[in-house]
Structure 1
Amino acid sequence: MAQERDEKVYMARLAEQAERYDEMVTFMKDVAKLGGELSVEERNLLSVAYKNVIGARRASWRIVSSI
């Protein structure tokens, strides 16, 4: 169980470096579903993933709504 958690956190870090935030969200959701409390690092990764996904969608929405 711990190995699976570590693998998903590692993959989330890689996704962050590649700026693939949708995948990062998926990996961190999987970590959260494994149960137990999230560590500080895991919470930060989840926060960064959602912040970037929502930020990109918000920017797109602003462009569309300004037309």
Structure 2
Amino acid sequence: MHKRLRLKRRFPVAMTEDGYRRLKKFAQDSHLEEGEALSCMFKNFDSVINKDTFGHCLKIFQTGLPCRNQ
């Protein structure tokens, strides 16, 4: 029997409501817990994203973020 993935690293995460709903849907469709779904996405990041459009999508997302104090 397959042993369940052990999640060893934890960190606080802030997500948009749309992003969180999409994560929950992906996790449910994949029969994974939310942490496992995030691990899968980041472990396979280069295979998951469309490299031709990701930079553009990132710039659009960044313009919607409020100014941050650094």
- By the TM > 0.5 criterion, same fold? no
CA radius of gyration, larger in: 2
* TM-score of the pair, normalised by structure 2: 0.26
Structure with the higher fraction of residues in helix conformation: 1
* TM-score of the pair, normalised by structure 1: 0.27
